[in-house]
Amino acid sequence: VGAIALGGVGTVGYLWADAKTDTAGKVDFDTPLAIPPLAEAEEDPSGARVFNLEIKAGTTPLKAGRETATWGINGNFLGPTIRAKRGQEVAFSVYNGLDEGTSLHWHGMHLPAVMDGGPHQEVEPGGDWTPQWTINQPAATLWYHPHPHGRTGNHVYRGLAGMFIVDDEESEALPLPKTYGVDDVPLIVQDRKFHDDNQFDDKSPFMSMQGVLGDHIMVNGTLGPYFDVTTRLVRLRLLNGSVSRLYNFGFADGRPFSLVATDGGLLPSAWETDRIQLSPGERVEIVVAFEPGETAVLRSHPADEGYEGPLGRVNGAEDLLDIIEFRAAGTLADDTAIPEAMGAAPDLDPADAVEERSFSLSGFSQINGESMDAGRIDFGVREGTVEVWEVSNADGYMHNFHVHDVQFQVVSVDGDEPPERLRGWKDTVQLVPKRKYRLAMRFADYTDPNLPYMYHCHILAHEDTGMMGQFVVLGEGEEIGAVPAPAHSH
Ligand code: C2O
Ligand code: CU
Ligand code: CU
């Protein structure tokens, strides 16, 4: 079930990558795609929507034979989809039923640092954590995952991840497909490596600094998935939820599709393409058209922009992998459309920047020559101001760059206009070696001189070994404080 036949295995068996294919990995699409359930919420007396999330260990029947030990949220593997609307107040009760500390971080969310779920909000075993905030950003496909320092990759790999969909008045009024699980489908794409006894193998190959690269692709935790299409247009919310693998999504038959949203939300107008490359943590929404009765396979193709580092191509950039099969019914409902106008274009003016900073990622574990230190705040930004950050990949391996709390605008890549796929709001961007990415962002609303937000490479092996830094957002007249000693909540 779902095993990928490796075309060229052995011929390019370098030490730093262990899943190589030079022909399409053949997958038997024999399992219906699991759709993560929508998390239920109760309204508390203040009107906040309260979600109960319980993190726990379990087992999941993934392959024939022994069940796989997995972790999940309100279930044994992965987590429910959280859905909330702009303006709503959300409250969570996060219970840690594991026997080690973990956290839940709301990736892409604009919220106070104390609610962010990063390394400073670790929840001890048996403890719970109750963040609460008002959704204060445009409609977007976000996600959530643990962020305990040094163990994020391991916790995500075991199965802790879910989607967080934000809606707003404008998005609800658009004619885009929006029936969850029917024509608006989350696709959490992750790779896994298995031991012979069906247990996840999270060991990197000898000397690999890229983290583990799996040879089985799962979508929403399903190996070998197919999806029954019942509408002409289908909106796919694609999340690269892998710890280290790069995907270059495109259909086997080369059909075009419309990119309608990037990390931070809807684009001003759709962009037609046949490929969309996502590094770990990035999301897009695409709309695909189907003909009655046909089947179509979504693949990951060899990367358009390579990662020819000093030791060769990395992070699966050369692989051709089948991801999921779509099976269209004989008749398809046709009552949705891609509107001419959707979201707001990024509109920051780099000339307004009060501060420019530069970040150079290198050595798998360092930004500007330093590794993450939870007790060190690297810098403070002023609330209400625009900054421009120039970010580059200095060692030639694969890296990307993620900033908490904000969505940023890619102003330029090596001085040029960014490519189409980077023109929407983003919170994570791939760093092609040696290019300079200028990112504009505005820090607003929430300040705390002591509690930092993170910025880091989202190749989780790199984040975990220290390719991460911390910044605080300062109110007027505030100075950088001291990070409080981790206070475990319970
Ligand atoms: Cu998705 Cu700091 O992480
Ligand atoms: Cu994040
Ligand atoms: Cu990296």
3-state SS class at 382: strand
- Regarding the beta carbon of 147 and ligand 1, being less than 6 Å apart is answered yes
Using the 3D structure, point to which of 333, 358, 374 is the last residue of a domain.
333
Tell me: do 375 and 468 sit in the same domain: yes
Burial (0-12, 13-18, 19+ Cβ within 10 Å), 292 = exposed
Q: What is the pLDDT of residue 382?
A: 98
Nearest atom within ligand 1 for CA of residue 463 = 2
One domain for residues 423 and 453 = yes
Within 10 angstroms of residue 412's Cβ, the number of other Cβ atoms is: 18
Are residues 402 and 322 part of one domain? Answer: no
**Ligand 1 neighbour 402 (Cβ under 6 A):** yes
**Nearest-CA residue for atom 1 of ligand 1:** 107
3-state secondary structure of 188: strand
Domain membership flag for residue 409: yes
Which residue puts its alpha carbon closest to atom 3 of ligand 1? 107
Is 414 part of a structural domain of the chain? yes
Q: Which CATH number does the domain housing residue 275 bear?
A: 2.60.40.420
Which atom, in ligand 1's list, is nearest to the CA of 468? 2
Q: d(Cα 16, Cα 177) in Å, to the nearest integer?
A: 41
Rounded to the nearest 10 degrees, how much is the dihedral formed by the CA atoms of 187, 61, 93, 484? Answer: -80
**Pair 376, 267 in one domain:** no
167 shares a domain with 198: no
Here the tokens at position 394 are: 């200095």
Per the rule left: phi > 0, alpha: psi between -120 and 50, beta: everything else, 277 is beta
Atom of ligand 1 nearest to the CA of 456: 2
Residues 226 and 161 in one domain: no
Residues 188 and 158 in one domain: no
Q: Are residues 86 and 213 in the same domain?
A: no
Q: Look at residue 272 and tell me if it is in a domain.
A: yes
Tally of domains in the chain = 3
Ordered mean pLDDT values, 10 residues apiece, the chain (490 residues):
36 34 64 98 95 98 96 98 98 98 98 98 98 98 97 97 98 98 98 96 79 94 98 98 96 98 98 97 98 98 74 79 97 98 96 98 95 97 98 92 98 96 97 94 98 98 97 97 70
Predicted TM-score of the model (pTM): 0.94
CB of 232 shorter than 6 A to ligand 1: no
Half-sphere CA count of 62, side-chain side, radius 13 A: 30
pLDDT for 434 equals 87
51 and 118 both lie in a single domain: yes
Q: What is the pLDDT of residue 488?
A: 53
296 located within any domain: yes
Q: Residue 210 has what pLDDT?
A: 82
Residue 312 maps to a domain:
yes
Owning domain of residue 298 = 184-333
The CB of 454 under 6 Å from ligand 1? The reply is yes
Strand runs (DSSP E) across 290-385, as ranges?
Answer: 295-300, 308-309, 312-313, 321-333, 355-362, 366-367, 379-382
